[in-house]
Amino acid sequence: MRAAERELIYDLCRNGFTCFNREHSAVIYGTSVLDELVSVEEQKAWFNSPAEANLADLRSGEADRSVLGGKSAEVRSKVRFEELSSHPEFGSILEALATYLHGCVLFPRRTQGQFWSLSCLPSLRMGGGVKRLVTLNMGMLEVFYLNELPGGRLELGVATDSTVLLARMTWWALKHRGASMAGPVHKSSGPNAEYLIFRSPTAFVKAMKKSDKIRSAAARYSLDRTRRGRVSGRYADAHNGLLAGAAIDRAAGIGLPTVGLRDALGADDE
């Protein structure tokens, strides 16, 4: 059903129809607390070309590395960041995170800590011997994460809008990019959510640079979640400003295509 829906949307765009409704194209509808920080006009400009619009934000000065929760929280944040930064794959971890911030997160320097939070828990063990190294949350939902599997291989998950992914032979095209589909994953992720699992951070970075549709699908989903409200509670408290600052600084130097969602919808499959 999702594949047929995607193909219909793409065919309409290719044939000159305007496809604009809240389920398939429109993210900016109604009002949001986000509008107080980022105007609707700025959001629309960002929607047209996220990577290009983010450049000014990323280059606008020093990233905020402050930590909520007082001295003890600051110490914990520093210890966890230093532990992660000693990981042998830290370079690829930071590159993947910075690529996501540059290409998919609305003005990451301005919105960090309010509309997205970044947890750094390199010692957190999940089921099956998996370690959760990094999680980027929007609201109460994880939209980007990095796991270390038994044996040391890294796996990356990212939330996307299924209606924007490649229309035909989606699973094959994603496999070609080093990714597989995992479905919505969370009940609160919404009917159009499609989590993509990449076999490595490097595969994710390559896909973000080569595939306008994967990048646009992740950006569209990210903007939708950002408009749903601020992060709060333990998600806000867990924000690691040191890791976020390092990723934002790196993001400013990453080159990404400036193709926006509307152009990606009108293009042929990659």
Q: What is the pLDDT of residue 21?
A: 41
Strand, coil or helix: 143: strand
Locate the domains of the chain by residue range: 2-20+33-257
Looking at residue 64, its pLDDT comes to 60
Side-by-side strand order, sheet with 179-181: 117-120, 131-138, 141-148, 154-161, 193-198, 179-181
**In sequence order, which residues have a C-beta less than 8 Å from that of residue 256 and are 6 or more positions away?**
51, 99, 102, 103, 208, 209, 215
pLDDT exceeds cutoff 50 at 166: yes
**Quick one: pLDDT at residue 263?**
73
Write the DSSP assignment of 145-167 as a string of letters: EEEE-TTS-EEEEEEEEGGGS-S
Residue 117 DSSP label? E
pLDDT at residue 54 in the model:
96
pTM here is 0.86
**pLDDT at 234 (0 to 100):** 86
Is residue 54 within 8 A of residue 38, CB to CB? The reply is no
Tell me, what's the pLDDT at 25? 41
- Say whether 267 sits in a helix, a strand or coil: coil
Q: What pLDDT does residue 23 have?
A: 40
Across residues 54-70, what is the average pLDDT?
A: 71
| pLDDT at residue 16, as a whole number | 53
Band the pLDDT of 27: cuts 50, 70, 90: low
Q: Which helix (H) or strand (E) holds 119?
A: strand 117-120
Phi, psi of 84 (to 5 degrees): -65, -40
CB 261 within 8 A of CB 52: no
As a whole-number percent, the residues of the chain with pLDDT over 70 amount to 81
Eight-class DSSP state of 141: E
Higher pLDDT, residue 168 or 154: 154
Angle subtended by helix axes 90-104 and 70-85, to nearest 10: 110
Token readout for 267 is 């293009």
> How distant, in Å, are the alpha carbons of 96, 131, 145, 162, 180 from that of 55?
17, 32, 23, 26, 30
> Does 7 have pLDDT greater than 60?
no
> What is the pLDDT of the chain when averaged over all its residues?
85
pLDDT band at 20 (very low <50, low <70, confident <90, very high): very low
Between β-strands 193-198 and 179-181, what pairing exists: parallel, antiparallel or unpaired? antiparallel
First-to-last CA distance in the chain? Answer: 21
Please write the tens of the pLDDT for every residue from 85-116: 999 999 999 999 999 999 999 999 999 999 99
Residue 193 contacts residue 185 (beta carbons within 8 Å) = yes
pLDDT reported for residue 8 = 61
Section 249-254 average pLDDT: 95
Q: How many Å apart are CA 191 and CA 131, to the nearest integer?
A: 28
pLDDT value of residue 9? 57
The arithmetic mean of pLDDT across residues 236-264, rounded, is 88
In this prediction, residues 205-224 reach a mean pLDDT of 94
- The pLDDT, as a whole number, for residue 158 is 98
Is residue 202 within a helix (H) or strand (E), and if so which, with residue range? helix 201-210
Rounded Cα–Cα distance for residues 249 and 174 (Å): 29
Q: CA angle 208-27-183, nearest 5°?
A: 55
Contacts of residue 180, defined as CB under 8 A and 6 or more positions apart, other chains included, come to 171, 174, 196, 197
Q: Which is more confidently placed, 15 or 135? A: 135
List pLDDT tens digits, range 120-146: 999 889 888 999 999 999 988 999 999
